[in-house]
Amino acid sequence: MNYANQFDSIVFFTGAGISAESNVPTYRGKGGIWEKYDWQSLACQRAFDQNPERVLEFHEFRRSLVYNCKPNPAHNTISQLEQTKAVFVVTQNIDGLHQKAGSGNVVELHGSLWRLRCDYCGRQIEDLNRKYRSKKCACGQWLRPAITWFEDSLESGVFAQAHSLIESCDLFISIGTSGSVWPAAGLPQIAFDGKAHCIELNLEKTEYSPMYNETYFGLAGTILPSLFQFK
Ligand code: NAD
C-alpha cells in the first residue's frame, strides 16, 4: 500500500511510541521517570511556585536525557511527506524530534522541553541548548518550562488548532499512543466522526483499535516508511 498519492491533507497524531526507537525515555511504567522522581515536587505549578530553581534544574536534567536523541525513520517519513502535501503533526510529545527531523507544521499539545515562558511579561523563549542559556527572563522573573505539567490544563488555542486540523483532514494516522492521557486522547474521535480515513500504528492493540479503518501493529520506524513510498 502506498498512501503518498491517495490523500491531500494528512494529520499524524503522535505519542511517546514514535520516539521509543529514538531512545527517548518513557514516563510511566517500569523504568519511567515518574517511578523515580516525585512529580509533586518537580513537575507541577505548585512545585515551581515553591522552588523554581529546583524545578528548572530537574528540567535541565530532562533535557539532557533527550538532547542527543535523533529522529528515527518514522519522524523522517513524516517530514519528507510535508514537502509534497499538506501534512500536519499533532503531537503529545515534548521532545522536539519532529522539528529536528524537519517538520514545520507541528502542534505541540503538551508544549516543549525546548521552550520557556515568562508568566509575568509573556515572553516565550526557544532554547535548544543542553543547559538553559538563562533561567531568568529579561524582566528579572524566573522562566517556566513551557510544558503541560501535572494538574495543568492544555492551552485552549493549541487544542482548538488541533481540533480544526483533525476535523478537516482526509487521512488521520495515530502513531504510538496508548490513548490514556486526556484530553488529547479524545482527539481521534473527531477524525472518526469526520470524513477522514483513520489508521492506527502501534506495537499492540489499544482500546481504540476497533474504531480505526485500518490498524498496523509493529515498530513505527519500520512500518511507517513502508506505507509511504517517495519517487
Ligand atoms: P504512552 O506511553 O501511554 O503509550 C505509548 C504507546 O506507544 C503504547 O501504546 C505502545 O504500545 C506504543 N509504542 C511503543 N513503542 C512503539 C514503537 N516503537 N512503535 C509504535 N508504537 C510504539 O504514551 P502517550 O500515549 O504518548 O502518553 C504519554 C504521555 O507522556 C503523553 O502525554 C506525552 O506527552 C508524554 N510523554 C512524552 C514523551 C516524549 O516527549 N517523547 C515520552 C514519554 C511520555
Residues 172, 65: Cα–Cα separation, whole Å: 30
Residues 186, 40: Cα–Cα separation, whole Å: 26
For a substitution probing ligand 1, which of 203, 207, 217 has the most ligand atoms within 8 Å of its CB? 203
| Count of all residues that appear for the chain in the document | 231
Q: Does the C-beta of 73 come closer than 6 Å to ligand 1? A: no
The verdict on 88 and 106 lying in the same domain is yes
98 is catalytic: no
Nearest CA to ligand 1 atom 22: 17
Residues 175, 202: Cα–Cα separation, whole Å: 6
Q: Does the C-beta of 21 come closer than 6 Å to ligand 1? A: yes
130 pLDDT band (50/70/90 cuts)? very high
**Pairing state between β 106-108 and 86-91:** parallel
Q: Does the C-beta of 96 come closer than 6 Å to ligand 1? A: no
Residues 180, 137: Cα–Cα separation, whole Å: 35
pLDDT at 120 over 90: yes
CA 71 to ligand 1 center in whole angstroms = 15
The verdict on 196 and 231 lying in the same domain is yes
CA 213 to ligand 1 center in whole angstroms = 21
CATH code at position 59: 3.30.1600.10
For a substitution probing ligand 1, which of 22, 23, 91, 93 has the most ligand atoms within 8 Å of its CB? 93
- At 29 the pLDDT is 62
- At 30 the pLDDT is 65
The count of other CB atoms within 10 Å of the CB of residue 208 is 19
The verdict on 99 and 42 lying in the same domain is no
The verdict on 176 and 130 lying in the same domain is no
Instruction: Write the pLDDT tens digit of every residue in 3-14.
Output: 888 899 999 999
Query: Distances from the Cα of 138 to the Cαs of 52, 112, 114, 122, 133, in angstroms?
Result: 16, 20, 18, 11, 12
C-alpha cell at 111: 508544549
231 pLDDT band (50/70/90 cuts)? low
For a substitution probing ligand 1, which of 13, 26, 150 has the most ligand atoms within 8 Å of its CB? 26
pLDDT at 32 over 80: no
Range of the domain at 64: 25-68+115-147
CA 202 to ligand 1 center in whole angstroms = 9
The verdict on 14 and 97 lying in the same domain is yes
Q: Which of 59, 75, 98, 110 is catalytic?
A: 110
- At 108 the pLDDT is 98
CATH code at position 158: 3.40.50.1220
DSSP reduced 3-state for 78: helix
Q: List CB contacts of 146: < 8 A, sequence separation 6 or more.
A: 111, 112, 115, 116, 117, 124
The verdict on 31 and 83 lying in the same domain is no
Is the C-alpha dihedral spanning 70, 76, 78, 80 positive or negative?
positive
Using the CB atoms, write b or e for 167-202: b if 16+ within 10 Å: eebbbbbbbbbbbebeebbebbebbeeeebbbbbbb
Domain count, the chain: 2
The verdict on 158 and 224 lying in the same domain is yes
The verdict on 172 and 79 lying in the same domain is yes
- At 28 the pLDDT is 66
CA 223 to ligand 1 center in whole angstroms = 16
